[in-house]
Amino acid sequence: MILAAVSGGSDSKGLLLALDEAITRGGFPAFSLSACTVDHALRPESAEEARAVAAFCAERGIPHITRHWQGDKPATGLQAAARAARYGHLADAAEQVGASCVVTAHTADDQAETIAMRQSRSKPDALGLAGMAAGVLVDRRAWVLRPFLSLSRTDIRDYLSARGEGWFDDPSNANMRFERVRVRHALSGATPSTAAVFAAAANVRRRSSEHVASLLGAQVSVSEGLVARLEPALAMNMADADSRRAVLSVAAVVGGRQHLPGRETTARLAALLSTGERGRLTAGRVVFDCRQSGLYLYREARGLPEIIVKPGRKTIWDGRFLVTNDSAEQITIHAGGETADLGARLIAAGLPDAVVKRAVRSAPVCSRSAASGESADIAVQLAPKPCFEVSIGLYDTFLPCFDLMMANSIAALFGRDRYLAPPVHDVLTEKTG
């Protein structure tokens, strides 16, 4: 089953109709179609628009569900928050109806706007300039595909007009308060760049990710999800873009960050690592411990939180570990895994004593009441019966298809299963047409 995200605007309505025609008239009985509208409740008209989409779907026999973004809305970063909420609701809806993927109607116009926004704040060779991926994995559970990236909005509206169909215009698309709207006005009248240009940039990023994956597999090891060891040759090669990306990606996971370190931090790291000399530097909550045997990365032992996890709940501790409480009692997660067992495992993995002594201070501990009523502490252990699973903030929420190979390599290093594979092969190769 395919789940189409439909707001009632021209792009999404055109996508729904095109899919319905392809399935019903194109002779694809193995496919079925459902639709989902996410009502963000940001405008008084949004509820009525969602009902109109539901009625439109009912006329055509397309199952439709509406999901609502409830609760308080942020005063700043509204569009980003709405985007995150929308994708979360779409992933929930996909699970609800058993869809193999979600499809959205992002167009070549949207792609041009995205590239323009990223160009304004990125280096000319930044990986983000590949634009939106043809597919993205959301929350490790639902692939969102974008089949209209090669089409212009004008093409879609011509298609709807030829069928006598109208659409809703969201007034927020004219609100100059939002960056995307300002960029859209700046690009007004310009022909969106061809899909081939974006596909070429995406292929560059995909090749980079594949190379980084090979570097990670050959020159990096991780112990207990806590300490990463990088070969000296990799650490000293920060001038190479892919080597730098490999080092910074591992650092982001070790530090529980969702993004790579910034330019200034990267420059400081490169200055230290390029010398090959022994020394330590702390950046992005990570200690970079340079030794003759390699570069060791581990979380600095400060600013470590203490949280309570209720029975049957999951949460992320320190941005680094997904904690699951399968017990009948609440548990407390705090730092201080200086247990003999954990230290012994790290020593057995070949880590220097001094590195182990520092690294275990930032290890999470699960404290819960024993049957006798006494407190029992369990230090981090990823296997065989995990209470903790490493969180990969870089990719666990949004994983672009061109980074899948790299993400799987990182997951393997940190003791995680591979990410869910895309439902179609073309997403991996970024083909356009």
All domains of the chain, ordered by start, with CATH?
2-199 (3.40.50.620), 205-301+392-413 (no CATH), 307-390 (no CATH)
What pLDDT digit, counting tens, does each position of 47-83 carry?
999 999 999 999 999 999 999 999 888 888 888 899 9
User: Is residue 118 scored above 80 in pLDDT?
Assistant: no
- For residue 358 the two structure tokens come to 């520092």
Cβ atoms of 398 and 138 within 8 Å: the answer is yes
Helix pair 404-413, 241-254: axis angle to 10 deg: 50
pLDDT at 432: 41
233 Cβ neighbours under 8 A, 6+ residues apart: 219
Q: In 220-294, which ranges are continuous DSSP H helix?
A: 232-235, 241-254, 263-273
Please state, in angstroms and rounded to a whole number, the distance separating the CA atoms of residues 398 and 84: 9
Please state, in angstroms and rounded to a whole number, the distance separating the CA atoms of residues 99 and 166: 27
pTM: 0.87
**How many other C-beta atoms can be found within 10 angstroms of the C-beta atom of residue 91?**
21
User: Is residue 300 scored above 80 in pLDDT?
Assistant: yes
pLDDT at 371: 44
Please state, in angstroms and rounded to a whole number, the distance separating the CA atoms of residues 380 and 345: 11
Please state, in angstroms and rounded to a whole number, the distance separating the CA atoms of residues 35 and 7: 10
Of 26-35, 133-142, 423-432, the range with the lowest mean pLDDT is 423-432
More confident residue, 200 or 424: 424
Q: How confident is the model at residue 193 (pLDDT cuts 50, 70, 90)?
A: low
Q: How confident is the model at residue 373 (pLDDT cuts 50, 70, 90)?
A: very low
**How many other C-beta atoms can be found within 10 angstroms of the C-beta atom of residue 390?**
24
pLDDT at 319: 97
pLDDT at 424: 82
pLDDT at 309: 92
**How many other C-beta atoms can be found within 10 angstroms of the C-beta atom of residue 46?**
20
Q: How confident is the model at residue 382 (pLDDT cuts 50, 70, 90)?
A: very low
Cβ atoms of 1 and 34 within 8 Å: the answer is yes
- For residue 58 the two structure tokens come to 């009912």
